[in-house]
Structure 1
Amino acid sequence: MAEETVDAAASLDGVLVRFPGRAPLGPIDMTIAPGEIVAVVGASGAGKSTLLRLLAGLEPPSEGVVGRAEGRTGFVFQSATLMPWADALANVALPLELAGVARPEARARAAEALTAVGLGDRLDARPRQLSGGMAMRVALARALVTAPDLLLLDEPFAALDSVTRRRLIEDLHRLWSTRTPRPAIVFVTHDVEEAVYLADRAVVLDATTGRVATGLRSPGALPRPREWRADAGYRAAVEALAAALAETMSPLPVEAGA
């Protein structure tokens, strides 16, 4: 059996994924509680995106069991993946219309979702008319419009400037905290500061072994208070996560003559 329904938002139980010509991912055991935010960090090739695809049901495991609670799953990819010919409203309404929601209701709910991410005045904008940050807000609204119980984010802010990234993370916390019930979120990132700030806990994948190397909890409650990035506890957690990540990475080669 490769998949089962669980009480947790999602889980991986002894999950292993084999790849031709390279080390497998796993086995991995992981449980995501309802309403929990989990960051997944690791070197390139560690299997972070594969882990998200497993949780989404987009890829089956070679061994083990992937469990998901009954409910909807939203997925935001590294790029916004918007339909270029459609305006923001139509892009966000699409998953509702595909689920059989009548167009007037789907468009009304899409307008509410876009307003929630700060784009209530850009409903008729085409993707080419949006900045990178705006396009990612549309993608986030599209993922949230179905009120998912599990939200999967695959480095959606990686290509954005630091100021825009911070604003979107604050928006994500705000949207998460105002939902009842709160969705569980699994967030892939290379940025340890982003991982500590955004998540309840961070999981480090080891690219060499294909397993979870360690898991570290972030201090304090979510959402974060203002100026929390200057807090000593935050800085200590960032350094601890950076050190744990460094232990999973090969040392840089020493140049000849150095």
Structure 2
Amino acid sequence: MAEATAALSDVVVHYPGRQPLGPIDLSIAPGEIVALVGASGAGKSTILRLLAGLEHPSRGRIDRAAAPGRTGFVFQAATLMPWTDARTNVALPLELAGVAAAEARRRADEALAAVGLGDRLTARPRQLSGGMAMRVSLARALVTEPDLLLLDEPFAALDSVTRRRLIEDLHRLWAVRSPRPAIVFVTHDVEEAVYLAGRALVLDAATGRVTRELATPGALPRAPDWRSDAGYRATVELLAVALARSMATVPPEAGS
């Protein structure tokens, strides 16, 4: 078996005023897409920050095979620099990594074209719709060709049509990469989780531990009519039941 792209082993995180999160055990294989679902405060965003190295556990071990600078992160908001254009926003992580400005701009242009914004290179964030801004954020995360891509409910504020289009784009961008990046995606939407991921993990509301793991049927990317597939509908219902059970006791909110 290939070395895990990232793994949490017996990880515990202490927060003031609530019981600790964990112990959490989680392994992400190279090229797989994993969805994390759970109540607010169950630790979904905390797990992403741990995997990214943005937060450190109180106890336990984190292993990351991804090379430095090869982890992409897309947050709930697009978090773009409002004073500059899409090209400069996307080129930023490359320039911070020491890539020459001309090369960074060239790669930024390619990344924006890949997410369907090749004609909006010089647009400022205020000139972009919410879906376009999130595409810029996705391009910025992908421009470094990450081994691990972390997405923290990036489509939650978008309308259902835009969300579907972005999920299809994410599958397309993932499929054309060689090797494919591992993706960990946080969502409250069980339909989104089953459609997007090859594996969905339910977190306990009180501890953040994985209480249920469901493999989703069918190949990724999905066939155009897969949402009407009986296996899809059945897995959505199983995941919804597991999520409801995990939320039987909801803790005071800490990390989401």
SS in 1 for 2:135: helix
Structure 2 CA distance, aligned partners of 1:17 and 1:232? 39
Which residue number in structure 2 is paired with residue 40 of structure 1?
36
CA shift, 1:148, in A, is: 0.1
Residues 201-230 of structure 1: per-residue CA shift (max 9 Å, x gap): 001111123311111110011000011000
Which residue number in structure 2 is paired with residue 57 of structure 1?
53
Percent identical residues: 77
SS in 1 for 2:19: strand
**1:15 matched to 2:18:** no
Q: CA RMSD in A?
A: 1.2
Structure 1 segments, 4+ long, off by >6 Å, are: none
- Is 1:82–1:139's contact at 8 Å kept on the other side of the alignment? yes
Residues 27-65 of structure 1: per-residue CA shift (max 9 Å, x gap): 011110000000000011101000000000000000000
Aligned partner (choices 50, 69, 94) of residue 65 of structure 2 = 69
Structure 2 CA distance, aligned partners of 1:30 and 1:61? 14
SS in 2 for 1:216: strand
Structure 1 CA distance, aligned partners of 2:202 and 2:249? 17
Aligned partner (choices 112, 115, 138) of residue 113 of structure 2 = 115
Q: Which amino acid aligns with 2:156?
A: A
Structure 1 CA distance, aligned partners of 2:52 and 2:224? 33
Q: Whose relative contact order is higher, 1 or 2, with alpha carbons under 8 Å and at least 6 apart?
A: 2
Structure 1 CA distance, aligned partners of 2:213 and 2:231? 17
CA shift, 1:70, in A, is: 3.5
Q: Which amino acid aligns with 1:29?
A: D
SS in 2 for 1:23: coil
Aligned partner (choices 78, 82, 88) of residue 84 of structure 1 = 82
Structure 2 CA distance, aligned partners of 1:49 and 1:238? 22
TM-score scaled by structure 2? 0.95
Structure 1 CA distance, aligned partners of 2:144 and 2:206? 37
Q: Which amino acid aligns with 1:159?
A: A
Equivalenced residue count is: 247
Which residue number in structure 2 is paired with residue 226 of structure 1?
224
Residues 64-105 of structure 1: per-residue CA shift (max 9 Å, x gap): 001100321000000000000010000000000010000110
Q: Which amino acid aligns with 1:129?
A: Q
Q: Which amino acid aligns with 1:202?
A: A
Which residue number in structure 2 is paired with residue 142 of structure 1?
140
Q: Which amino acid aligns with 2:40?
A: S
- Any gaps of 5 or more consecutive residues in structure 1? 1-5, 253-258
- Indicate the structure (1 or 2) with the bigger Cα radius of gyration: 1
CA shift, 1:21, in A, is: 1.1
TM-score scaled by structure 1? 0.94
- Is 1:203–1:215's contact at 8 Å kept on the other side of the alignment? yes
Structure 1 CA distance, aligned partners of 2:231 and 2:176? 25
CA shift, 1:250, in A, is: 2.7
The answer to which of 131-140 and 214-223 deviates more is: 214-223
CA shift, 1:251, in A, is: 7.8
Q: Which amino acid aligns with 1:66?
A: I
SS in 2 for 1:233: helix
Q: Which amino acid aligns with 2:182?
A: A
Residues 157-180 of structure 1: per-residue CA shift (max 9 Å, x gap): 000000000000000000000000
Aligned partner (choices 194, 207, 210) of residue 208 of structure 2 = 210
Structure 2 CA distance, aligned partners of 1:181 and 1:209? 34
Which residue number in structure 2 is paired with residue 158 of structure 1?
156
